[in-house]
Chain A
Protein backbone atom coordinates (compact mmCIF):
# COMPACT_ATOMS: atom_id res chain seq x y z
CA UNK A 1 0.00 0.00 0.00
CA UNK A 2 3.02 2.25 0.37
CA UNK A 3 4.11 1.77 -3.23
CA UNK A 4 4.02 4.33 -5.98
CA UNK A 5 3.90 2.77 -9.43
CA UNK A 6 5.48 4.67 -12.31
CA UNK A 7 5.42 4.16 -16.05
CA UNK A 8 6.95 4.01 -18.56
CA UNK A 9 10.39 2.86 -17.50
CA UNK A 10 11.97 4.72 -20.41
CA UNK A 11 10.80 7.19 -23.01
CA UNK A 12 12.30 8.68 -26.15
CA UNK A 13 10.74 11.74 -27.75
CA UNK A 14 11.73 14.19 -30.44
CA UNK A 15 12.62 17.75 -29.56
CA UNK A 16 9.41 19.73 -29.14
CA UNK A 17 7.38 16.63 -28.23
CA UNK A 18 5.33 16.24 -25.05
CA UNK A 19 6.51 13.30 -22.95
CA UNK A 20 3.99 12.09 -20.40
CA UNK A 21 4.98 10.10 -17.34
CA UNK A 22 2.33 8.43 -15.21
CA UNK A 23 2.19 7.44 -11.57
CA UNK A 24 -0.38 5.67 -9.42
CA UNK A 25 -0.63 5.24 -5.68
CA UNK A 26 -2.72 3.23 -3.23
CA UNK A 27 -2.31 4.99 0.09
CA UNK A 28 -5.08 7.59 0.42
CA UNK A 29 -3.15 9.21 3.29
CA UNK A 30 -0.66 10.61 0.78
CA UNK A 31 -1.26 14.33 0.38
CA UNK A 32 1.85 15.68 -1.31
CA UNK A 33 3.03 14.57 -4.73
CA UNK A 34 6.35 15.93 -5.97
CA UNK A 35 8.25 15.16 -9.13
CA UNK A 36 12.02 14.99 -9.02
CA UNK A 37 14.50 15.30 -11.86
CA UNK A 38 17.82 13.52 -11.62
CA UNK A 39 20.84 13.93 -13.89
CA UNK A 40 23.60 11.30 -13.89
CA UNK A 41 25.85 11.62 -10.86
CA UNK A 42 23.57 14.13 -9.16
CA UNK A 43 20.97 13.98 -6.45
CA UNK A 44 17.25 14.29 -7.19
CA UNK A 45 16.07 17.88 -7.53
CA UNK A 46 12.48 18.99 -7.02
CA UNK A 47 10.83 19.94 -10.27
CA UNK A 48 7.21 20.57 -9.35
CA UNK A 49 4.77 19.36 -6.71
CA UNK A 50 1.01 19.20 -6.21
CA UNK A 51 -1.47 18.77 -3.41
CA UNK A 52 -4.65 16.72 -3.96
CA UNK A 53 -6.95 19.72 -3.62
CA UNK A 54 -6.10 20.83 -7.17
CA UNK A 55 -6.34 18.89 -10.42
CA UNK A 56 -3.55 20.61 -12.31
CA UNK A 57 -0.45 22.66 -11.66
CA UNK A 58 1.81 24.34 -14.20
CA UNK A 59 5.30 25.68 -13.73
CA UNK A 60 6.93 26.80 -16.93
CA UNK A 61 6.97 23.88 -19.37
CA UNK A 62 6.11 21.34 -16.66
CA UNK A 63 2.53 20.39 -15.77
CA UNK A 64 1.20 17.94 -13.21
CA UNK A 65 -2.26 16.51 -13.74
CA UNK A 66 -3.86 14.94 -10.70
CA UNK A 67 -6.85 12.59 -10.55
CA UNK A 68 -7.75 12.03 -6.91
CA UNK A 69 -10.55 9.53 -7.53
CA UNK A 70 -8.30 7.37 -9.71
CA UNK A 71 -5.30 7.91 -7.41
CA UNK A 72 -3.17 8.83 -10.39
CA UNK A 73 -1.00 11.75 -11.34
CA UNK A 74 1.13 12.52 -14.33
CA UNK A 75 3.89 14.82 -15.51
CA UNK A 76 3.72 16.50 -18.91
CA UNK A 77 6.75 18.30 -20.34
CA UNK A 78 5.76 20.80 -23.01
CA UNK A 79 8.12 21.65 -25.88
CA UNK A 80 10.69 19.15 -24.60
CA UNK A 81 14.37 19.96 -25.12
CA UNK A 82 17.52 17.80 -25.17
CA UNK A 83 18.46 19.37 -21.83
CA UNK A 84 15.36 17.72 -20.34
CA UNK A 85 16.99 14.32 -20.86
CA UNK A 86 17.19 12.91 -17.34
CA UNK A 87 15.54 10.43 -15.01
CA UNK A 88 12.24 11.56 -13.57
CA UNK A 89 10.84 10.22 -10.33
CA UNK A 90 7.38 10.75 -8.98
CA UNK A 91 7.00 10.59 -5.22
CA UNK A 92 4.38 10.83 -2.53
CA UNK A 93 4.30 11.62 1.15
CA UNK A 94 1.92 12.15 4.02
CA UNK A 95 1.60 15.53 5.73
CA UNK A 96 2.49 14.71 9.29
CA UNK A 97 2.55 17.60 11.72
CA UNK A 98 5.85 17.64 13.53
CA UNK A 99 7.01 14.51 11.77
CA UNK A 100 9.41 13.75 8.96
CA UNK A 101 8.72 14.13 5.27
CA UNK A 102 9.23 10.53 4.23
CA UNK A 103 9.08 10.39 0.45
CA UNK A 104 8.01 7.20 -1.30
CA UNK A 105 9.48 7.25 -4.77
CA UNK A 106 8.32 5.66 -7.99
CA UNK A 107 10.71 3.48 -9.97
CA UNK A 108 11.81 6.28 -12.29
CA UNK A 109 11.52 7.07 -16.00
CA UNK A 110 14.59 7.62 -18.16
CA UNK A 111 13.67 10.33 -20.64
CA UNK A 112 15.71 11.01 -23.73
CA UNK A 113 14.86 13.96 -25.93
CA UNK A 114 16.39 13.67 -29.38
CA UNK A 115 17.14 16.47 -31.80
Chain B
Protein backbone atom coordinates (compact mmCIF):
# COMPACT_ATOMS: atom_id res chain seq x y z
CA UNK B 1 0.00 0.00 0.00
CA UNK B 2 1.42 3.40 -0.93
CA UNK B 3 2.35 5.59 2.01
CA UNK B 4 3.75 8.98 2.89
CA UNK B 5 7.25 8.67 4.28
CA UNK B 6 9.00 11.21 6.47
CA UNK B 7 12.62 11.60 7.51
CA UNK B 8 14.09 11.81 10.03
CA UNK B 9 11.79 10.21 12.58
CA UNK B 10 13.37 12.31 15.34
CA UNK B 11 15.42 15.48 15.08
CA UNK B 12 17.08 17.27 17.96
CA UNK B 13 18.35 20.76 17.29
CA UNK B 14 19.67 23.69 19.23
CA UNK B 15 17.60 26.82 19.53
CA UNK B 16 18.38 29.21 16.70
CA UNK B 17 19.44 26.51 14.27
CA UNK B 18 17.73 25.76 10.96
CA UNK B 19 16.10 22.41 10.34
CA UNK B 20 14.71 20.77 7.24
CA UNK B 21 12.06 18.12 7.57
CA UNK B 22 11.63 15.86 4.58
CA UNK B 23 8.65 14.06 3.15
CA UNK B 24 8.01 11.82 0.17
CA UNK B 25 4.29 12.07 -0.66
CA UNK B 26 2.37 9.34 -2.43
CA UNK B 27 3.46 9.40 -6.06
CA UNK B 28 0.22 10.28 -7.85
CA UNK B 29 -0.89 12.84 -5.29
CA UNK B 30 -1.02 16.49 -6.25
CA UNK B 31 -1.65 18.27 -2.94
CA UNK B 32 0.77 18.33 -0.06
CA UNK B 33 0.39 19.51 3.49
CA UNK B 34 2.27 20.04 6.71
CA UNK B 35 0.60 19.77 10.08
CA UNK B 36 2.06 19.86 13.56
CA UNK B 37 1.04 18.38 16.86
CA UNK B 38 2.46 19.74 20.09
CA UNK B 39 2.66 16.96 22.67
CA UNK B 40 -0.77 16.14 24.04
CA UNK B 41 -2.54 18.69 21.87
CA UNK B 42 -4.54 18.61 18.67
CA UNK B 43 -3.18 18.38 15.17
CA UNK B 44 -2.85 21.86 13.64
CA UNK B 45 -2.72 22.82 9.97
CA UNK B 46 0.39 24.67 8.84
CA UNK B 47 0.34 24.87 5.06
CA UNK B 48 -0.98 23.34 1.86
CA UNK B 49 0.96 23.25 -1.40
CA UNK B 50 -0.17 22.66 -4.96
CA UNK B 51 1.38 23.22 -8.35
CA UNK B 52 4.62 24.44 -6.78
CA UNK B 53 3.07 27.13 -4.70
CA UNK B 54 1.41 27.59 -1.34
CA UNK B 55 -2.36 27.38 -1.66
CA UNK B 56 -3.19 28.13 1.97
CA UNK B 57 -1.31 28.74 5.19
CA UNK B 58 -2.23 29.21 8.83
CA UNK B 59 -1.22 32.01 11.16
CA UNK B 60 1.36 29.64 12.63
CA UNK B 61 3.17 29.50 9.29
CA UNK B 62 5.08 32.78 9.55
CA UNK B 63 8.30 33.94 7.90
CA UNK B 64 10.23 31.42 9.98
CA UNK B 65 8.74 28.61 7.89
CA UNK B 66 9.07 27.74 4.23
CA UNK B 67 8.15 24.80 2.04
CA UNK B 68 9.64 23.52 -1.14
CA UNK B 69 9.29 20.71 -3.61
CA UNK B 70 12.90 20.57 -4.76
CA UNK B 71 12.39 17.64 -7.15
CA UNK B 72 9.62 15.36 -8.37
CA UNK B 73 9.38 13.33 -5.19
CA UNK B 74 10.38 15.29 -2.09
CA UNK B 75 8.44 17.92 -0.16
CA UNK B 76 10.30 19.78 2.55
CA UNK B 77 9.52 22.03 5.48
CA UNK B 78 12.28 24.39 6.55
CA UNK B 79 12.23 26.08 9.91
CA UNK B 80 14.71 28.92 10.23
CA UNK B 81 16.07 29.92 13.61
CA UNK B 82 14.16 27.34 15.64
CA UNK B 83 12.55 28.27 18.95
CA UNK B 84 11.78 26.10 21.96
CA UNK B 85 8.07 26.32 21.14
CA UNK B 86 8.68 24.74 17.74
CA UNK B 87 9.15 21.42 19.54
CA UNK B 88 6.37 19.22 18.21
CA UNK B 89 5.53 16.29 15.97
CA UNK B 90 5.39 17.45 12.36
CA UNK B 91 3.22 15.48 9.98
CA UNK B 92 3.35 15.60 6.22
CA UNK B 93 0.22 14.60 4.32
CA UNK B 94 -0.82 14.31 0.71
CA UNK B 95 -4.03 13.89 -1.23
CA UNK B 96 -4.92 13.12 -4.82
CA UNK B 97 -7.05 16.22 -5.09
CA UNK B 98 -7.57 19.22 -2.88
CA UNK B 99 -11.31 19.16 -2.61
CA UNK B 100 -12.62 18.69 0.88
CA UNK B 101 -13.92 15.20 0.38
CA UNK B 102 -10.76 13.40 -0.62
CA UNK B 103 -8.65 11.55 1.86
CA UNK B 104 -5.47 13.07 3.18
CA UNK B 105 -2.85 10.40 3.91
CA UNK B 106 -0.49 11.22 6.75
CA UNK B 107 3.09 10.18 7.28
CA UNK B 108 4.35 8.77 10.55
CA UNK B 109 5.72 12.15 11.59
CA UNK B 110 9.02 13.75 12.56
CA UNK B 111 9.45 14.55 16.22
CA UNK B 112 11.34 17.83 16.46
CA UNK B 113 12.95 18.65 19.78
CA UNK B 114 14.48 22.10 20.18
CA UNK B 115 16.87 22.39 23.11
Query: A residues engaging B (CB < 8 A)?
Result: 30-32, 34, 36, 41-46, 49, 51, 89, 93-108
Q: List 21 A-B contacts (CB under 8 A).
A: A34-B103, A36-B43, A41-B109, A43-B93, A44-B91, A46-B104, A89-B42, A94-B100, A95-B99, A95-B101, A96-B100, A97-B99, A99-B56, A99-B99, A100-B33, A100-B98, A101-B99, A102-B58, A103-B35, A103-B43, A105-B44
Q: Once the chains are docked, how many angstroms separate the CA of A101 from the CA of B95?
A: 8
Contact for A102 among B45, B101, B105, CB less than 8 A: B45
Q: Is the CB of B101 within 8 A of A46?
A: no
Whether A44 pairs with B42 at a CB distance below 8 angstroms is no
Q: B residues bordering A, Cβ < 8 Å? A: 4, 31, 33, 35, 41-45, 48-50, 55-56, 58, 91, 93, 95, 97-109
Establish whether residues B91 and A100, one from each chain, have CB atoms under 8 Å apart when the complex forms. Answer: no
Q: Which residues from chain B contact A44 at a C-beta distance below 8 Å?
A: 43, 91, 106
- Using known A-B contacts A89-B42, A102-B56, determine if residue A49 contacts B103 with beta carbons closer than 8 Å: yes
Residues of B within 8 A of A101 (CB): 31, 33, 48, 95, 97-100, 102, 104
Candidates A34, A43, A51, A99; contact of B98 at CB < 8 Å: A99
Cα separation A103 to B47 with both chains bound (whole Å): 10
Distance of A101 Cα from B101 Cα, bound (Å)? 8
Instruction: Decide yes or no: A43 and B101 within 8 Å by CB, A100-B48, A103-B45 being known contacts.
Output: no
Residues of B within 8 A of A30 (CB): 100
Across the A-B interface, the 3 shortest Cβ-Cβ residue pairs = A100-B48, A43-B106, A95-B100
CA–CA, A95 to B101, complex, Å? 7
Are A42 and B108 also in contact (CB < 8 A) when A99-B56, A101-B33, A102-B45 are? yes
Q: Is the CB of B100 within 8 A of A93?
A: yes
CB-CB under 8 A from A32, the residues of chain B are 100-101
